[in-house]
Amino acid sequence: MLANVFTKTVRDRWRAMAIALAALVLMLLLAMSVYANFDFSIYDDLPEAFRSLMGIPENADAGSLAIGVLAGLYGAFTLAGLAISMGSGSIAGEEKAGTMGILLGNPKSRTHILFSKTANMLLLTALGVMVLWIAAYAVSAVLNVDLGNMQVGPYMLHLYANVIFYGMLALAIGAWTGSRGLASGVSAGIMVVGFIAVGVFPLIEGWENFAKVFPWYYFDGADPMNNGPSLGHLGVLFGSSVALGGAAYVGVNRRDLKGQAVGTTLLDRLRENPLTQKVVDRLAGSTRVSRIWIKTASEHQGLLIIVAYVMFLIMGVLMGPLYALMDKTLLQYTDQLPEELWAFVGSEGGGMGTAEGFYEVETFGLMVPIATMVVAIAIAARALAGEEANRTMGLLLANPIKRRKVVIEKAYAMVALTLAVGFATWAGVWAGSLLGGLGMSPLNIAAASLLGSLVGVVFGAFALAVSAATGRVRVAVFTAVGVALGTYLINSISILNDTVEGIAAFTPFDYYLTSDPLNNGMHWGHGAILLGVALVLIGVSVALFDRRDLRQSA
């Protein structure tokens, strides 16, 4: 099975792409059905810079707005995220898993492995974009929505070029450093910063041209949906991707590859420091792993550092001064926009005329739930199933420790690191408010950050339960992400459709921003519900893990 690296990689990765595409197509169907009976005359007088910020194409109608929001926002982030995952895992991921030696043990060169992995990424992302392209026409035909002169094909070509760039960037960084965390973190950070810069900089006088520095500008800066393909912009993205591929080729062939995961954990570093050695030794306990949660938290330090850094600096600190520099006249237009548009960006529709509304749209609407869920689900999915896949669960349970204690300690680690992301968000937003002179309440910021953290904890607890029931990491991750996308979609639609409103009460997102915590402070009832659901799921995890025969191999 290892003789064909390309086929094996496709087999390992196609499920994630299939799940993501199913969710995106469903969201496209629902979005277009909502916008089909929408009055778009309100957008006619909006300034071009503001339409760019909100992702509203020129001459917006049901088809262009639905495709722009779903493909240009959710689709771009989802497919780029998958490309980054594939790119960072191609070389650095194999090294971290300790499987690079097995691959090279076959009569295959480093270059062959690199090309096979790259071809896999190019193929799967191409298929993903093609599915969205076909779905745009299929959904519009089913709903009898006229796409008119929209150039969906060129728009999707720009989307593909954008997605590939970030995947190749992650591939190059991973090939040179052997660090999957660094490759994915830097690539995702550049993507997020570029997305924000392209939307925000046109609203700041004199900053318009700075947006061209970022790769995201060359995705839709030329408005390919209305104007067709821009050969110059496509050339920048595809040319950069080719250059990054060349850099990856040089990087993977010039250094000694790691045969297994190596590195010093945060726990080890603290033990080496005489000032913290005694405290850490007491917390960590004896060699019988009496403090499993500390060990688990230390193992995921890289993920925490990357996510916390993005939420603190980029989504928190930098947003305050940027908002202070914006043209407030343009931002006043947001008060005229209907809630149907805000629903799909995670906002309750309060507009961006205030600092609280701006932070809700840019930081708390989508980024906070994504950040907390990434950390919580990653830790929880590997908490139990990861130990089984690595064949270390037997060693762990050989100590005088009960199964339920293992589950609870793993849950401690998941909760602690998720709350750390929430704390980083709170600190960043408050610092941004102080730097920008926005006057936001630190207590209200804390309320929104805590509720966002609890949303992440709920889905992390769900992933823990699936991990305990199945013993498989991928099943836990895909199931938790799928449920998260589904419940987010239901909550968004509830704002637009009264018949779904009752169902939304059963989704965690209904207890996140609906109380407007940035303006009204903490809603303790909503917090209690989220915490209660998480505790129940952790209890279910304990029961499931206690009763299952554990796997002794991957």
Q: Rounded CA gap, 421 and 306, in Å?
A: 10
Q: What's 550's DSSP letter?
A: P
Say if residue 265's pLDDT is above 60.
no
Report the pLDDT value the prediction gives residue 286, as an integer from 0 to 100: 45
User: Is 521's pLDDT higher than 90?
Assistant: yes
- Greater confidence, 414 or 398? 414
508 phi and psi angles, rounded to 5 deg = -60, -30
Cβ atoms of 187 and 169 closer than 8 Å: yes
Compute the distance between CA of residue 83 and CA of residue 75 in angstroms, rounded to an integer: 12
Separation between Cα atoms, residue 202 and residue 300, nearest integer Å? 38
- Most confident of the ranges 142-146, 261-265, 309-313, 322-326: 309-313
Q: Would you list the DSSP string of 403-435?
A: HHHHHHHHHHHHHHHHHHHHHHHHHHHHHHHHH
Place of tokens 């270390």: 392
What pLDDT, on a 0 to 100 scale, did the predictor assign at position 491? 79
Quick check: 393 and 550 in contact, CB under 8 A?
A: yes
For 32-90, the pLDDT digits (tens) are: 776 666 655 655 555 565 555 555 555 556 666 777 777 777 788 889 988 998 998 88
Residue 271: pLDDT over 60: no
pLDDT, residue 201, reads 82
Cβ atoms < 10 Å from Cβ of 41: 8
The pLDDT tens digits for 331-358 are 666 665 656 566 556 566 556 778 888 8
User: 419-434, pLDDT tens digit by residue?
Assistant: 999 999 999 999 999 9
Half-sphere exposure of 369 (CA within 13 A, CB side): 22
| 8 A C-beta contact, residue 534 and residue 458 | yes
Is the pLDDT assigned to residue 249 strictly greater than 70?
yes
Query: Look-up: residue for tokens 């993903």?
Result: 128
Q: What does the DSSP assignment read for 302-319?
A: HHHHHHHHIIIIIIIITH
Asked if residue 195 lies in contact with residue 216, where contact means CB atoms within 8 angstroms, the answer is yes
Tell me the C-alpha distance between 170 and 248, whole Å: 9
Q: In this structure, which amino acid lies at residue 154?
A: P
pLDDT of res. 231:
94
Contacts of 272 (CB under 8 A, 6+ apart): none
C-alpha distances in Å from residue 157, one per residue of 85, 288, 426, 548: 21, 55, 38, 48
What number is the average pLDDT over the span 227-239?
93
Quick check: 352 and 361 in contact, CB under 8 A? yes
pTM of the model: 0.77
Radius of gyration, CA atoms only, the chain: 23
- Say what the pLDDT of residue 349 is: 55
Amino acid of residue 253: N
Residues 489 and 23 sit within 8 Å (Cβ to Cβ): yes
- CA neighbours closer than 13 Å in the CB half-sphere of residue 261: 10
Which of the 8 DSSP states describes residue 549? P
What residue ranges do the domains of the chain occupy? Answer: 1-263, 300-548
Query: Quick one: what percent of the chain has pLDDT higher than 90?
Result: 31
Residues 515-540: b if buried by 16+ CB within 10 A, e if exposed = bbbbbebbbeebbebbeebbeebbbb
The Cα 37–Cα 97 span in angstroms is 51
- Evaluated on CA atoms 307, 313, 316, 319, the torsion sign reads negative
Tell me the three-class secondary structure of 255-300, residue by residue.
CCCCCCCCCCCHHHHHHHCCCCHHHHHHHHCCCCCCCHHHHHHHHC
The predicted pLDDT at position 538 comes to 95
Are the beta carbons of 455 and 512 closer than 8 angstroms?
Answer: yes
Q: Pick 273 or 182 by higher pLDDT.
A: 182
